[in-house]
Amino acid sequence: MQTPTPDSIIPLLDKMADIGASDLHLKTGIPPVYRVGGDLRRTNLGVLEVNSRMIEKLMDPIIPSARRPIWEEKGGLDFAYNLPSGDRFRINIYRSCDQMHAAIRRVKGVIPGFEELHMPPIYRTLAEKTIEGIIIVCGVTGCGKSTTQASMLDHINATQALNIISIEDPIEYTFIPKKSIVSQRELGLDVQSFADALRGAVRQDPDVIFIGEMRDRETLLAALQAAETGHLVFCTLHTADTMQSLGRMLEFFPPDQHNFVRSSLANCLKAICAQRLVPAIDPKISRVPACEVLIGEGLVREKIRAGEDTDLPEIIAGAAHSGMRSITQSLAELIDQGLIYTDVAMEYAPNREALKSLIQGIKTSAQTLVHRVKRPGGSG
């Protein structure tokens, strides 16, 4: 991949759109590295290797001056940057061996819809039908949590007249008010912490509150209180699945408060949506989400309140009628829709035998054959 010697960060950012890159990494000792379709690709700068002084020169013009002291003091900083094209970038600079490195995530200027993201119908239902409570979107870094949340929020923005307040670190997607009105607050620029912003948000007449990331006990407690008092709260967690999300939230609190947290979650939880990105057959799509969805209905609430979390996977697997789904069921649907190959799905399946039992025929990346998904009560 040919790239000119960098003397400005702008051409490197522009190139991300040209090649469909999701991320750009600047590290000392190697040329810039892009992530395209989930894979890392090094640029070719000839004999030149990036050094720390060059990274500092590239990043210096775009680091917000008001936040520079944080970088100097803590050796790490998150911020966002916009190009005139509308592309937005979430940027993290950090010290490694006393040298500056940078990780840059490209956020498209236009918020994609559910169809473009290939999200299951339950996501639209949750956005349209939920008026209060808490909806959690979880997954590992880079799985598209922020994009999914943005799509759900923008659907609300386009279809309902509500007051939406977001608290982000940094702001990624910029929402243009449609039927709703929207205020976006960024940590370090507009407010100092998620917990402070949440406490302020409930006095700002919100209908919907979006929390960019649940990081600590104070933030979770404020989110639960907002959800229990009639607000719709969206938030993200860096956990792989729904079970880990419940465990992570409990970890924020000492054991003697777990019953209280479980009771609060049981009262206000509307859904936990976990996702992981799977390589798609169509290179233009690149990757599609396999989704696990836990709906906070009656039996789920009882199990959470009673601490019987180990029963939840079985409930998810048997309640597809309500919109719930396991990762395994989602992978089977993606195969049935012709979006992913069977052998690729097997690599991402938490239980390969369970996936095999859901599908008939084989559709692999080496050969494409007719396939069907078994449906309850039928032969295929």
Q: Are the C-beta atoms of 22 and 286 separated by less than 8 Å? A: no
The pLDDT assigned to 49 comes to: 60
Q: What is the pLDDT of residues 235-255, one digit of tens each?
A: 999 999 999 999 999 999 999
The pLDDT assigned to 45 comes to: 61
Q: How far apart are the first and last CA of the chain?
A: 46
> What is the DSSP annotation of 194-219?
HHHHHHHHTTS--SEEEES---SHHH
Domain ranges of the chain: 9-107, 114-325, 338-380
Beta bridge partners of 236: 137
76: its two tokens: 């790490």
The pLDDT assigned to 348 comes to: 95
The pLDDT assigned to 242 comes to: 93
Q: Are the C-beta atoms of 12 and 86 separated by less than 8 Å? A: no
Q: What is the pLDDT of residues 210-244, one digit of tens each?
A: 998 898 999 999 999 999 999 999 999 999 999 99
Q: What pTM value is reported for the model?
A: 0.81
The pLDDT assigned to 284 comes to: 87
d(CA 186, CA 208) in angstroms, rounded, equals 16
Q: Which fold has domain 114-325?
A: Rossmann fold (3.40.50)
The pLDDT assigned to 366 comes to: 46
**In the chain, which stretches have pLDDT less than 50?**
1-4, 46-48, 361-363, 366-380
Nearest Cα residue to 206 out of 222, 193, 190: 222
Phi, psi of 374 (to 5 degrees): -65, 135
Q: Are the C-beta atoms of 363 and 341 separated by less than 8 Å? A: yes
* The CATH number fitting domain 9-107, selected from 3.20.20.70, 3.40.50.300, 3.30.450.90, 2.60.40.1660: 3.30.450.90
12: its two tokens: 């490197």
d(CA 332, CA 341) in angstroms, rounded, equals 10
Element spanning 116, H or E: helix 114-117
